[in-house]
Amino acid sequence: MAGPAHSLALTGRTQFEIPFCFGISFIRHGESVGNKLGVVQGHKDYPLSTLGIAQSQHLGHNSVTNLRVSHVFSSDLSRSLKTAEIVCSCLGNAPPIVLDQRLRERSFGELEGQRLDQFRIELRNSGVHMSEFKPPGGETTADVRARAAAFLEDLFNGLKKFEKEREAAVKADKPGYFMEYQVPCGTSYSPTPGSPNEILTASVLIFAHGGWIREALIYLEQKYHICTEAQRSQITAVAPCGGVSTLTFKMTDSKTTGNCLWLHSVYHVSDSQRPRTSKIAALARSRSAQARKPFASQFSSPV
């Protein structure tokens, strides 16, 4: 069954008191030419490298083949959008990819395109912490977190409206909506089998950048306490290229609770010639989801 072309309006509020569950997966783009060159990227639009294309292909085949998702969002920068296009070609349905500039990486203004070693010199000379460093035309981490928060609040409000529409369509046996959706690398998540309130009735894929995903996760942890103690120490790490972090939420109009299933999991195995990333992939395959939560991000590279 082909999926719907849902146009999720990220505005307004809809009263909703019946609990419903949904999943959100944050996916960092594959390796870009900028990653390969070792330069500061920010808003500068570097395409995927050959390795990044292969990573995205393997990520799609290994984690989302025939998966049902309700919505897909991406940064408008090409390294993120191309990753989304490649990965989503493996989905079991085909929701449109909605572009949003709020998902862009942290801007480093005039320093974008510089080599990372030169950037570190500029940072050291500024005398401030990386989070507060603001080159001309650039952003602090607080600026990025504010962007992420605005997007996520609009998303949560839009999902309430979507659930109302989905529930009415399913009851009326109208085409274009599913009874349940799924998150990457697994079937539909149901911690209490048989409980209808634990079926995911929406699943959102968000393709973005390492720095943005980190700030989004920190914001969600601060607001909803989504992480275990072990995970809490890992959300400040930058996801590896192609890393996937998946959360589930239960929502009413008055209360939202969340749960982090895994952080920075790596499902692509196309980079066997790169020992560090190959090591992540091997460990991710050999450990359970619970065991690898605090592990994979230890090998993360800087933005």
Domain residue extents for the chain? 20-299
Percentage of the chain exceeding pLDDT 70: 78
pLDDT digits (tens, 9 = 90+) for 121-171: 999 999 999 999 999 999 999 999 999 999 999 999 999 899 988 888 888
- Looking at the whole model, is its pTM more than 0.95? no
Q: Which entry of 6, 43, 71, 105 is annotated as an active-site residue? A: 105
* 71 given a catalytic annotation: no
Which H or E run contains 105? none
Region 193-215: mean pLDDT is 83
Q: Is 225 annotated as a binding residue?
A: no
Region 263-268: mean pLDDT is 86
pLDDT digits (tens, 9 = 90+) for 38-60: 999 999 999 999 999 999 999 99
Rounded distance between C-alpha atoms, residue 22 and residue 14, angstroms: 16
Rounded distance between C-alpha atoms, residue 139 and residue 107, angstroms: 5
Do residues 210 and 228 lie in contact, with contact meaning Cβ atoms separated by under 8 Å?
A: no
Is residue 299 scored above 80 in pLDDT? no
* 209 given a catalytic annotation: no
pLDDT range class, residue 274, cuts 50, 70, 90:
very low
Q: Is 32 annotated as a binding residue?
A: yes
pLDDT range class, residue 198, cuts 50, 70, 90:
low
- What is the edge-to-edge ordering of all strands in the sheet holding 256-265? 97-99, 71-74, 200-208, 20-28, 244-251, 256-265
Is residue 240 scored above 90 in pLDDT? yes
pLDDT given at position 272: 42
Taking CA atoms, 124 is separated from 10, 110, 133, 141, 173, in Å, by: 40, 16, 10, 17, 61
Average pLDDT, the chain: 82
Q: Is 211 annotated as a binding residue?
A: no
Is residue 12 scored above 60 in pLDDT? no
Region 282-296: mean pLDDT is 32
Q: Is 33 annotated as a binding residue?
A: yes
Is residue 174 scored above 90 in pLDDT? no
* Domain 20-299: which CATH number of 1.10.10.10, 3.40.50.1240, 3.40.605.10, 3.30.750.24: 3.40.50.1240
Q: Is 28 annotated as a binding residue?
A: yes
pLDDT given at position 271: 43
Region 268-279: mean pLDDT is 44
Question: Which residues, 6+ apart, have CB-to-CB distance to 285 below 8 Å?
Answer: 269
Which DSSP string do the residues of 264-284 spell out, in sequence order? Answer: EE------TTSHHHHHHHHHH
